[in-house]
Structure 1
Amino acid sequence: MARIGDFASAAAPIGPDTPGAEVFDRFQSEPDTLILAVVDGDGRPVGLIERNVFILKMAAEFGRALYAKRPAAAFMDASPRILDADADAETLFQSVDDASLGGLLNGFVVTSGGLYVGVGAGVHVLQAGSAIHRRRADAMSALARDLARAEAEARASSRAKSEFLAVMSHEIRTPLNGVLGVAALMERELTQEDMRPYARTILDSGQSLLRLLTDALDMSRAEAGLMTFETAPVQLSAVAADLRALWSPRAQEKNLDLRVTCDTDGHDWVAADEMRLKQLFNNLIGNALKFTRAGEVSVHIASAEVDGAIAITATVDDSGPGVPSDAAGTIFDPFNTGHAGREGAGAGLGLAICRQIVELMQGGIGVDRSPQGGARFRFTLSLPGATREMRAAALEMAEPTAHATLHVLVVDDNATNRFVAAKVLELFGCSSEAVEDGREAVARVQTGRFDLVLMDIKMPVMDGVQATRLIRATPGPAADIPILALTANADPRDEAEYLAAGMNGVAQKPIQPDALLNAIRLVMGAADQRTPVDKAA
């Protein structure tokens, strides 16, 4: 008889109080460990942590700041599947349904007499299934070899993906912030018109790299079930206006007509994630402009009330080459770089992410032929309407207050980021000082006079969240200083954490002057400051 215990891994367990940093170190130092069990002082299991899900959390922007110091009990699966080591593996597999098998693939804890003896992961389930099938029939030996090969590939893929995401998330964005920040400053200050195309090329290429990085992380989060949606009031006509302003210059560069129309029939406000909604449109419009050499790109947004909800229908039509009917079924697949009839399609992630977003919002997306002869991408969503109170609050927040010269404390451990931030603040007529970590920031705001703090999050010695909490607990006027978080990718979960710590707002990296200026205005307006920031020239 094949026992469940025969296929378990005897990885050393951890306690509920083990910090996230130690958990991360365990996974890094033990590349073959896919599951860690969490046990109490008596050796009884109370939870488990799955390698890939945890590494993705840590790889998210400022994931280390959020989870490194938290105890395992805060992020473990507190209801793990627990199996007896002496149970017959074949009987177990014959009795489980698809849902239960899916739970086993996500990891389980093995016990004997109620005490921990090991853990199992998807690869261990595959090992057990392989052994059972080999024993039941020699004819299944070929399948067993395939399963063994799949086990090795799955383990290698899991390790490679986790390590790649961690390195990419933590390392690429810092130099990219410097590249894009300095290029934006150069473009603003250049007096030689013939040099502007060079600065613009740097900006365009850097933005393309940033989109690729964001797409890769979004796809990984979506596949792991970690993509989040932040519901807030969204005005569809304002979204249409933003899209028109964003993409018109690109259309003009290619001598294309871009039309963005919005027909809301009195149903202009919905409750949705505006960032994800714009991400949908941006991917589809950017795709249409890329493949259209002549003619036009037409975007239409329509909404109507259906069964108490707001039904949205959006189309993006172009006059490009279109998508062959035999390729339409695969065009939304990840990493489709030309097999769907559109060669030169980049990394093939944009449309796949569109499908992920739409499906997670319980909608549908498809492709057809447009009236212009090119491609028509169409998606539908059913969203709740925004209440009158939600609309009023959104309109109030959307009114940035103009402010004059400020003295700003820049807190960032990266010298390039400090340089870029200081130069951008100079454009606004602001003065600034800089420190390298949160501990220095806490000390500096108590001895200096600052109107605003630009606070990086991930820093050595003391991170931005902890520094903010200490500043807010400081006696005296320093406790009320407005603090604006600087982050490379403002995930809604991260933003909620920063605001809960006492920060007043969030600005994205790589730093873009106009976006930073608007974020400063919003923060200073909310704080009701009296001295303002001059407009950037």
Structure 2
Amino acid sequence: MSVPDYLFDRVTQEIRQQMDCVLALTTRLASPLPAADTRACVEGVAVAAETVRRITAASADIRSALSDALILSPGPVALRDLVDRLDDRWRARLTGSGLTLMVSYDGPPEGAAMLDADRTLQVFDGFLAHALSGVRKGAAEVMLRVRESGDVLVLEGRVRSSRTGLRTDTEVDVREIEEMFGLEAAMGFMLGRHVLRRLGGRARILQNPGQGETLSFAFRAERPPERPAEVKSADRAAHILVVDDNATNRMVAETLCSMFGCTTEPAEDGEAAVEAAATGRFDLILMDIRMPRLDGVGATRRIRAMPKPIGCIPIIALTANADADETASYLGAGMNGVVEKPMKPDQLLQVVRDTLALPQLDASAAA
């Protein structure tokens, strides 16, 4: 599926608008303000920054999809939880729209699959945006149905609405989606189609018995090696070393870790990371790759050369370069996993949780 040129033009326009907003708010913050106004300005800057982050991330994803370089990071996902996340995000989006959304799950109560949860939700987002654009009132239904097919699972998503004339090809009016749900929804529609293709899935249109049509898509997923572990943040306060030469990146990582119930300490480069790791205080290290004095790969090799148990501390790479070759080189240096920048809370939580659940790495094997 091609992407209309105007969509990337709109990304540029939206970023300019949001940055104009940021400049106006920061100018206002430079003058004395009541505490309430200061908080409102800070919140406005945060909202604008988050909007720009999401739009630029979606734009980068679409460009990657067009060059067949879109990265999927599958992990064990509880399917009922996936449906709950979908329900939460779309109920908030449809508040006050006159539309009612009914979300359901048809599968094993404890069903789980190896999925990239964020990418899978992007597929649902795209189909929902298309099915609901132009619908001003009434109800829509979305379902995830799961069935077994030998050693794999078949996941089928269905989005039913009162709309007719739905399509699965390039003739979909992306502008109509943007007008009703915004630029992010329009980009989500384009991205969702590419993700589905990347998953080896297919889409079709079904006629409803009464009014409207149903968009249906299906793809296969492997079973997880075991049931996904429960989130451990509530009963374990892991102590994490956050290594990054950029203060903003450290703050973001530390904030996300605190959301999981973890405690953190910062380090500004690889030399500081090696020195901190030698104290043996940490359960996990989040390691930036490109840093002055000593980069993340070099720091990892030096830590792996230390005696046990310090040499066995799990280390996760933080990097904007997470293609297959780069990832292989990080793992070859002794790292346990990779989190791509900009960091997403769900992805970081999954990697931290999975890594802390792994048996300790043998330092000699990773050297």
Quickly say closer, same or farther: Cα 1:289–1:512, change in 2 above 3 A: farther
| 1:502 aligned onto 2:300 | no
Q: Is the 8 A contact 1:368 1:376 kept in 2?
A: yes
How big is each residue's C-alpha offset from its partner over 1:456-481, in whole Å with a ceiling of 9 and x where there is no partner? Answer: 23334433233223211223543122
**Rounded Cα–Cα distance in structure 2 between residues aligned with 1:403 and 1:259:** 34
Q: Is the 8 A contact 2:73 2:115 kept in 1?
A: yes
How big is each residue's C-alpha offset from its partner over 1:37-66, in whole Å with a ceiling of 9 and x where there is no partner? Answer: xxxxxxxxxxxxxxxxxxxxxxxxxxxxxx
Using the TM superposition, give the Cα deviation of residue 306 of structure 1 relative to its aligned residue in structure 2, in angstroms. Answer: 6.1
Quickly say closer, same or farther: Cα 1:264–1:446, change in 2 above 3 A: closer
The counterpart of 1:299, out of the listed 126, 134, 142, is 142
Match of 2:297 in 1: 465
**Rounded Cα–Cα distance in structure 1 between residues aligned with 2:238 and 2:77:** 31
**Rounded Cα–Cα distance in structure 2 between residues aligned with 1:236 and 1:508:** 23
Q: Is the 8 A contact 2:240 2:264 kept in 1?
A: yes
State the TM-score, normalized to the length of structure 2.
0.66
Q: Is the 8 A contact 2:234 2:261 kept in 1?
A: no
- Aligned AA (1:346): L
Match of 1:346 in 2: 183
**Rounded Cα–Cα distance in structure 1 between residues aligned with 2:309 and 2:191:** 46
**Rounded Cα–Cα distance in structure 2 between residues aligned with 1:521 and 1:312:** 25
Query: 1:99-118, aligned counterparts within 5 Å?
Result: none
The counterpart of 2:216, out of the listed 378, 388, 394, is 378
Q: Is the 8 A contact 1:251 1:289 kept in 2?
A: no
Q: Is the 8 A contact 2:76 2:228 kept in 1?
A: no
SS at match of 1:250: helix
SS at match of 1:258: strand
Match of 2:270 in 1: 438
Query: 1:188-207, aligned counterparts within 5 Å?
Result: 205-207=48-50
**Rounded Cα–Cα distance in structure 2 between residues aligned with 1:406 and 1:234:** 22
Using the TM superposition, give the Cα deviation of residue 224 of structure 1 relative to its aligned residue in structure 2, in angstroms. Answer: 2.4
Query: 1:407-446, aligned counterparts within 5 Å?
Result: 407-422=239-254, 432-446=264-278
**Rounded Cα–Cα distance in structure 2 between residues aligned with 1:215 and 1:415:** 25
Match of 1:453 in 2: 285
Quickly say closer, same or farther: Cα 1:429–1:467, change in 2 above 3 A: same
Q: Is the 8 A contact 1:408 1:433 kept in 2?
A: yes
SS at match of 1:313: strand
Query: What runs of 5+ residues in structure 2 fail to find an aligned partner?
Result: 1-7, 23-34, 361-367
Query: 1:80-479, aligned counterparts within 5 Å?
Result: 205-229=48-72, 236-252=79-95, 254=97, 256-264=99-107, 268=111, 273-285=116-128, 293-304=136-147, 310-318=153-161, 322=163, 324=165, 329-331=169-171, 337-338=174-175, 343=179, 346=183, 348-366=186-204, 376-381=214-219, 383=220, 386=223, 390-392=224-226, 395-400=227-232, 402-405=234-237, 407-422=239-254, 432-446=264-278, 449-479=281-311
**Aligned-CA RMSD value:** 4.7
**Rounded Cα–Cα distance in structure 2 between residues aligned with 1:341 and 1:402:** 40
Using the TM superposition, give the Cα deviation of residue 442 of structure 1 relative to its aligned residue in structure 2, in angstroms. Answer: 2.0
Using the TM superposition, give the Cα deviation of residue 249 of structure 1 relative to its aligned residue in structure 2, in angstroms. Answer: 3.5
Quickly say closer, same or farther: Cα 1:296–1:211, change in 2 above 3 A: farther
SS at match of 1:222: helix
Q: Is the 8 A contact 2:103 2:141 kept in 1?
A: yes
Match of 1:480 in 2: 312
Which has the higher Rg, Structure 1 or Structure 2? 1
Match of 1:148 in 2: none
How big is each residue's C-alpha offset from its partner over 1:247-303, in whole Å with a ceiling of 9 and x where there is no partner? Answer: 343344656433221223899555555443232123334555676554333211224
Identity score, percent: 33
Quickly say closer, same or farther: Cα 1:462–1:367, change in 2 above 3 A: farther
